[in-house]
Amino acid sequence: MIKQNKIVIIGAGHVGSHCAQALAMQELCGEIVLTDIDKDKAAAQAEDIVDALVYPGRSVVVRSGNLEECADAAIIIVAVGRPRKPGQTRLDMLEDSIRMIHALTEQLNFIGIGGIVITITNPADIVADYVRRRLKLERNRVFGTGTLLDTARMIRILAKECRVSPCTIQGYVLGEHGDSSMIAFSQVRIGGLDCEAYNVDKEQILEKTRSIGMDIIRGKLSTEFGIAQACAQLCRCIMKDEKRVMPLSVLLDGEYGQRGFHAGVPCLVGQGGAESVIRLSLTPGEKALFDASCKTIWQHRDKALSIVPLKTRWRG
């Protein structure tokens, strides 16, 4: 029986621990369990977060536990891995991540899970696809945060450039959570206006959106606050059945002319997880950029297959 109030986070490092803290501070659930191969680290992170909840007065149980805790969790967040090093692309992490994820999903299949799985581990699109296939779950139940963080970065850059609040901007970064990501500028609205009205330098906005992650890594060797808040908002949408549209890395099944692998596209998010994919009208130029990004994902997905052969055949 699924406990609707319980979230398990696998991987209690920079990302996992910050996700736990963001969830707890917003009281988005009643129980948060941190699990890690390093049990002492998971326990210490949980204790540290519990300390932080006293003065704000948040009544959430935060503790460490075993992987078996995933069996009855409403949401499972996969944040295993290690941070990128300066100069490393997300795709450079493919081999290490796939080996970790292969071992992890073997255990999860043994335990059996009934909830929704959100993957954060990089390379995000390939790992989300790999986890979904290994767990043999429906596409609405296993997806990656994909370009959710990239979209936050794009919005804050645009907001600064146009001197408006980020809250007035709607738009999405699509494709790979990585260096081939693209912005659907034709769909961006700034206070209801087309972004042409603000005469922004699109190439510069895209370049900055792509490079912020590495700038942060160069300065502190990890990124954690942004992805934690993005993930917490995603969990909120699911727990509260908010039906917000968010860009997620889901299995494409003909949408945007692509099929059989994960890429970042806008999804309607509610208690069913990624309930449907929103089909934006991209310009021919944007479609070409999206297709090129998909090709990068495709090629690396095939590489992932050669690292650890899957019993299930890759589709597409």
Query: Which residues are identified as catalytic?
Result: 177
**Rounded CA separation 55/51 (Å):** 8
**Rounded CA separation 37/159 (Å):** 40
Is the Cβ of residue 43 or residue 305 nearer to ligand NAD in the bound state?
43
Is the Cβ of residue 74 or residue 100 nearer to ligand NAD in the bound state?
100
> How far apart are CB 268 and ligand NAD at their closest, in Å?
20
Residue 94 CB partners (closer than 8 Å, separation 6+): 123, 126, 300, 303, 304, 307
> How far apart are CB 170 and ligand NAD at their closest, in Å?
20
Is the Cβ of residue 124 or residue 158 nearer to ligand NAD in the bound state?
124
**Rounded CA separation 76/243 (Å):** 19
Beta strands in the chain (DSSP E): 3-10, 31-35, 61-64, 73-78, 116-119, 142-144, 169-170, 173-174, 182-183, 189-190, 193-194, 244-253, 259-270, 273-277
Buried b (16+ CB within 10 A) or exposed e, 247-266: bbbbbbeebbebeebbbbbb
Is the Cβ of residue 124 or residue 234 nearer to ligand NAD in the bound state?
124
> How far apart are CB 312 and ligand NAD at their closest, in Å?
20
Residue least distant from ligand NAD (Cβ): 13
**Rounded CA separation 306/275 (Å):** 31
> How far apart are CB 35 and ligand NAD at their closest, in Å?
6
Is the Cβ of residue 88 or residue 299 nearer to ligand NAD in the bound state?
88
The binding site for ligand NAD (CB under 6 A) comprises: 10-16, 36-38, 41, 79-84, 93, 97, 100, 103-104, 120-122, 124, 145, 149, 177, 222-223, 227
Q: Token digits for 221?
A: 């060797």
> How far apart are CB 57 and ligand NAD at their closest, in Å?
28
Residue 147, SS3? coil
Is the Cβ of residue 195 or residue 227 nearer to ligand NAD in the bound state?
227
Buried b (16+ CB within 10 A) or exposed e, 182-216: bbbbebbebeeeebeeeebeeeebbebbbebbbeb
